[in-house]
A = this chain, B = another copy of it.
Amino acid sequence: MFVELKHGSGGRPTQQLIGEILSIYGDNSIKDLEDCALIEGGLGVTIDGFTVSPRFFPGGDIGKLAVCGSTNDLAVRGVKPMYLAMSILIEEGLPKEELIKVVKSAYGVSKELDVKLVAGDTKVLPRGQADGMYITCCALGKAVTGRPWGINNLSSGDILVITGPIGKHGALISALHYGLDVDQLASDCAPLWPLMQPLTEVAGVKCARDCTRGGLGTVLCEWAEGAGIGIEIEEDLIPLDPEVASVADVLGFDVLHLACEGTAVIAVAPDCAEYVLSSLRVLAPNCTAIGKVTEDHPGIVGLKTEIGGIRVVDMLAGEMVPRIC
């Protein structure tokens, strides 16, 4: 048995591999199905490795992505990002100005979020033992919600809200990887804390997740399976850029599996859905409700298609494009 690219897709094979690793750690690990763990003192911790190729892309670069991607895992738990630890692996021969440019991008987001860099490490690998540079970011912050947002809060009737059009990052990187022409497309790479922060005072917010590797579809499957609830979403309610739809069509990808890097799905109690949407609209004009949590078909995500049928949504099973993030 060998590790394959599909184990890095963020979908089911990734989940299985991580399951095996966690089973070794057993009780010496926190297994709460979230991307950000809460430890004593209300501190949130998350870690993410970034290997995106190309390093520079419309809408961002690996430095911006590293800070957005790691702090977004905090933001969707209701945790205010405060500190960053960053480890950079560099391939020998990387132009130093590229490194500087990437660090400046990382700094830009850190500054915007008022996040302090508290620890760092650099290693240099001989030529051919890395491709340019890889960044790992550990982000730390303080939980500021009354109860932590998480899968365990999900219950029947919750409304599912998406903060913007899905799949832009995944579609862009896939298009670049396969040499498609996508002039109008940019990654949605952005920090989510400015969007989520006002929601931390809304008691009806239950659970949120940034739809990165594996996309919205994989996140919703994790929620349905993790909480033992059913989920129903409607295809024609999901915001989608035409260019993202084209890329998915050409490459044969399901848009529900295309990664976002600044777009979250949020589950809220029905009585505060309108309030949440109006709060989000200030910064995310395209946010919208896309479905709900149901008592029916626990563990299953159903998509009501535009022609009126119901399709079962599964996690991403194979590999789409390597090095999406």
Once the chains are docked, how many angstroms separate the CA of A138 from the CA of B136?
10
- Would you give the shortest CB distance from A30 to chain B, in whole angstroms? 5
A202 interfacial by beta-carbon distance below 8 Å = no
A49 interfacial by beta-carbon distance below 8 Å = yes
Which residue of chain B has its CB nearest to the CB of A37? B118
Interface residues on A, range: 35 or more
* B126 and A129 within 8 A (CB): no
Once the chains are docked, how many angstroms separate the CA of A94 from the CA of B30?
26
- List B contacts of A107 (CB < 8 A): 24-25, 28
- Would you give the shortest CB distance from A165 to chain B, in whole angstroms? 25
A121 interfacial by beta-carbon distance below 8 Å = yes
Residue-wise, chain A 119-147 has the 8 Å CB interface mask toward B (1 for contact) of 11111111011110010101010000000
Once the chains are docked, how many angstroms separate the CA of A124 from the CA of B2?
11
A304 interfacial by beta-carbon distance below 8 Å = no
- List B contacts of A36 (CB < 8 A): 119
- List B contacts of A2 (CB < 8 A): 92-96
* A85 and B138 within 8 A (CB): yes
Which residue of chain B has its CB nearest to the CB of A96? B1
* B124 and A45 within 8 A (CB): no
- List B contacts of A189 (CB < 8 A): none
A307 interfacial by beta-carbon distance below 8 Å = no
- Would you give the shortest CB distance from A62 to chain B, in whole angstroms? 12
- List B contacts of A25 (CB < 8 A): 103, 107, 110, 117
Interface centre among A36, A103, A121, A322 (most CB of B within 10 A): A121
- Would you give the shortest CB distance from A204 to chain B, in whole angstroms? 27
* A3 and B123 within 8 A (CB): no
- Would you give the shortest CB distance from A102 to chain B, in whole angstroms? 10
- List B contacts of A129 (CB < 8 A): 51, 130-131, 323
A100 interfacial by beta-carbon distance below 8 Å = yes
* A3 and B96 within 8 A (CB): yes
Which residue of chain B has its CB nearest to the CB of A129? B131
* B39 and A7 within 8 A (CB): no
* B115 and A4 within 8 A (CB): no
Q: Give 27 CB contacts A-B under 8 Å.
A: A1-B97, A2-B92, A2-B93, A3-B91, A3-B92, A3-B95, A3-B124, A4-B92, A5-B92, A6-B124, A7-B124, A8-B125, A20-B100, A24-B103, A29-B117, A29-B118, A30-B116, A47-B87, A47-B136, A47-B138, A48-B87, A49-B87, A51-B129, A121-B136, A125-B322, A126-B322, A130-B130
Task: Please report A residues at the B interface, Cβ cutoff 8 Å.
Answer: 1-8, 14, 17-18, 20-22, 24-25, 28-30, 35-37, 39, 41, 43, 45-51, 83, 85-97, 99-100, 103-104, 107, 110-111, 115-126, 128-131, 134, 136, 138, 140, 322-323
The 6 A-B pairs with the shortest beta carbon distances in the complex, nearest first, are A8-B124, A138-B138, A47-B85, A136-B136, A29-B117, A37-B118
